Structure 1
Amino acid sequence: MLDNVYPVTIFDNFLTYEFRSIGPNGAIRKIVRYQEYSRCGYYNLGFGDVDPDTGNESDLHVTNNGDSEKVLRTVTSTLYTFTDNYPDAFVLASGSTRARTRLYRIGISNNLEAIEKDFNLLGYLDDGWQKFVRGTDYDLFLVKRKS
């Protein structure tokens, strides 16, 4: 599942990861951040582009570089590195829009067997957390590395 990923640079004690998406729109700088919530042990997985002019991060920018699967595999590779260094962490993730959350759900569904070998995976609906099931339109995802 994690072959064909972009090279990643790691910063901030394994909390920040950068890589470049390469495609018809050029080399786009991407950033992945794991930010701890006030509840100890829970981390938000944030992901987006870095504006080349301002250096600001945006999780709303649409790159359209034709490499979305490779980008999602690269983001997933950071999850392995992060949980290697924070093995007790619970990681929460969702898209910045419904469409992006759907894209993440599709990526998870397409790689579910591989993900479940290494992670416990839950999805959140109005009635609470449940084991991830393909085809279910979750609002949020929670992963925990298996021991």
Structure 2
Amino acid sequence: MNNPKYQYKSERKLRHFEFISEGPKGLIHKMVEYTETGQENVFNLAFGDYDKTTKSIDDLSITNNGDSLKVLATVASTVYAFTEKYPRSWIFATGSTSARTRLYRMGITNNLAEVQVDFLVFGLRIEDNEWEEFIVGEDYDAFLITKKKNYENQN
């Protein structure tokens, strides 16, 4: 994504990424985490404010720090880093609320041409229970992303 991004830090496995959102609400600690699902090579992307008390991600907090494009670009940059280390991975993502899922869909839509250079993006509508290649203008409940090379090597 060509939007400005925050610098992030990660551990060696590149499964946990942290960065600081800067805006009118102050400095907000953010975290992106990739966790294994029950399916081989499928990882869940979790993202939100880092809660220092519980040492976990709060994916329901609403920061409104005026930097949502920069935050989403930073999250997207972690996808590139994660899939560079785990090139056969599939990343599952959905919002913790329908509004957040819509925000992610808009982010994908606005950057689809750039994203599709390296990745295949699929959308899922729960009522259909079927993945399809991402179509601009469609409402999806979840997203699945993989490197093009990974997909081409499997087929």
Confirm or deny that 1:139 pairs with 2:141.
yes
**1:63-82 alpha-carbon deviations (Å, 9 max, x no partner):** 00000000000000000000
Give the drift of 1:4: 1.2
State the partner residue of 1:81.
Answer: 81
Alpha-carbon contact 2:8-2:17 (below 8 Å) kept: yes
Identity %: 47
**What is the distance in 1 between the residues matched to 2:55 and 2:28?**
12
Alpha-carbon contact 2:6-2:19 (below 8 Å) kept: yes
Alpha-carbon contact 1:2-1:74 (below 8 Å) kept: no
Give the drift of 1:50: 1.1
Alpha-carbon contact 1:94-1:101 (below 8 Å) kept: yes
Aligned CA distance change for structure 1 residues 22 and 38 (closer, same or farther; 3 Å) = same
Alpha-carbon contact 1:49-1:57 (below 8 Å) kept: yes
**1:67-121 alpha-carbon deviations (Å, 9 max, x no partner):** 0000000000000000000000000000000000000000110001001111001
**What is the distance in 2 between the residues matched to 1:54 and 1:92?**
24
**1:28-73 alpha-carbon deviations (Å, 9 max, x no partner):** 0000000011211000000010124554420000000000000000
State the partner residue of 2:31.
Answer: 31
Q: How many residues align?
A: 147
State the partner residue of 1:107.
Answer: 107
**What is the distance in 2 between the residues matched to 1:121 and 1:55?**
31
Alpha-carbon contact 2:3-2:69 (below 8 Å) kept: no
Normalised by the length of structure 1, the TM-score is: 0.96
Alpha-carbon contact 1:2-1:77 (below 8 Å) kept: no
After TM superposition, the runs of 4+ consecutive aligned structure 1 residues lying more than 6 A away are: none
State the partner residue of 1:92.
Answer: 92
Q: Secondary structure at the match of 2:48?
A: strand
Q: Secondary structure at the match of 1:74?
A: helix
Give the drift of 1:2: 3.8
State the partner residue of 1:43.
Answer: 43
**What is the distance in 2 between the residues matched to 1:33 and 1:56?**
10
**What is the distance in 2 between the residues matched to 1:132 and 1:4?**
24
State the partner residue of 1:67.
Answer: 67
